[in-house]
Homo-oligomer: A and B are copies of this chain.
Amino acid sequence: MIKIAVDLLGADHDEKLLAGAVKALKSREDLFLYLCGREEEILPALEEAEIPSTHFEILNSADVITNHDDPMRAFRAKPESSLAKAMGICKTDPEVAALVTCGATGAVFVGSVMSLPRIGKLKPILVCEVIRRDNKWLCISDCGANIDCDENSLLDFARVGSTFMRAQGVKDPKIGLLSNGSEDGKGNALTRKAFPLLKESGLNFAGNIEGIHVLNSDLDVVVCDGFSGNILLKTLEGAAKSALEEMTVLAEKLEGAEKEAVLTLAAEAYKKYDYNALGGAVLLGVGLPVLKGHGSANEETMNTLIRMAYDLAEGGLVEKLKAEYNAPEHHS
């Protein structure tokens, strides 16, 4: 049985999160969820879906942490919140393999970093997956947790990103270093120092990668400081959506089936770049992966997040990270 803690409150449409959790439970036989939210809403939904009681435990939460709460104080101020309960069970039940939430970003990450154990000397790292042109997944590591870093941090982002992809079944993940040019000598002071470390790391390092080639690359991991990674991630989404919105504007001059065809395909392509709906960001380097979906998450988002958490647990992500980061050779 794979155990996952799920925070069901704090998003725009909490009823959709519950529906997604129910869907996930229906689709996996060896999945157990700690469901943190309003018991009076959760229980009827589970009963209606005929989920056996051996597959869940409800942690009734009378309170919710919102974006209006101070992230630093939210946990102490709201011990009865769904997020605090979810964090709590991660600490008390060592079998919990992942935490899934679509709650207030600041509180999720501050709470995770403050209350969950660390893996060796590893710092928390935020990764996010985008879809390449060839429909394979690409991980951006780090995409926002570590804004100012040194070259050793970039090496950690590469290692953790690689392990993250291996846990999802990618063999010997190919790693690129985000830079302002593809030649070896390109980069800023930080990436030029990181480059030789990556080259000597034993990882499958393919050199520098430019923003224009990220999506049509064959890379599995793009390594960058959290500031650049955040710009990369958000610009990928913003530009792709902008181009597709442009298509719908241009379609205004068409009529009938032709207009319909353009709008339908633009909507279909749009999904590929709607990174929030696709899943979310994953915080690694704390005792278990914390999967954070967007506040606008729907049933499918929650289902996807739980499936991803399940896959990471099954792929032995945390065990792999522990093996790497507790091993003497990485303690340097």
- Beta-carbon nearest neighbor of A225 in chain B: B188
In the assembled complex, the CB of A43 is this many whole angstroms from the nearest CB of chain B, namely 38
Query: Quick one: which of A212-232 are within 8 Å of B by CB?
Result: 212-216, 225-228, 230-232
A257: chain B residues at CB < 8 Å are: 257-258
A244-B247, A250-B268, A261-B262 known; A147-B180 Cβ under 8 A: yes
Number of copies: 2
**Which of A133, A148, A239, A259 is most buried by chain B, counting CB atoms within 10 A of its CB?**
A239
In the assembled complex, the CB of A185 is this many whole angstroms from the nearest CB of chain B, namely 11
CA of A243 to CA of B247, assembled, Å? 10
In the assembled complex, the CB of A113 is this many whole angstroms from the nearest CB of chain B, namely 17
A311 part of interface (Cβ distance < 8 Å): no
In the assembled complex, the CB of A238 is this many whole angstroms from the nearest CB of chain B, namely 4
A187-B147, A227-B180 known; A238-B211 Cβ under 8 A: yes
- The one of B133, B181, B211, B265 that contacts A235, using a Cβ cutoff of 8 Å: B211
CA of A231 to CA of B247, assembled, Å? 24
Do B226 and A212 have beta carbons less than 8 Å apart? no
Do A242 and B133 have beta carbons less than 8 Å apart? yes
- The one of B210, B258, B273 that contacts A261, using a Cβ cutoff of 8 Å: B258
A234 part of interface (Cβ distance < 8 Å): yes
- Beta-carbon nearest neighbor of A246 in chain B: B269
Do B133 and A245 have beta carbons less than 8 Å apart? yes
Do A210 and B234 have beta carbons less than 8 Å apart? yes
A237 part of interface (Cβ distance < 8 Å): yes
Q: Which 10 A-B pairs have the closest CB atoms?
A: A211-B235, A211-B234, A212-B238, A239-B239, A240-B243, A258-B261, A180-B230, A212-B234, A188-B227, A235-B235
> Which positions in A face B, CB cutoff 8 Å?
133, 144, 147-148, 178-181, 187-189, 191, 210-216, 225-228, 230-247, 250-251, 254, 257-262, 265-266, 268-269, 272-273
Instruction: Provide a sorted-by-A list of 27 A–B residue pairs whose CB atoms are within 8 angstroms.
Output: A133-B242, A133-B246, A147-B187, A148-B189, A179-B227, A180-B226, A180-B230, A188-B225, A188-B227, A191-B227, A211-B233, A211-B238, A212-B237, A214-B235, A214-B239, A215-B238, A216-B238, A227-B228, A235-B236, A235-B239, A237-B239, A239-B273, A243-B243, A243-B269, A244-B244, A261-B262, A262-B262
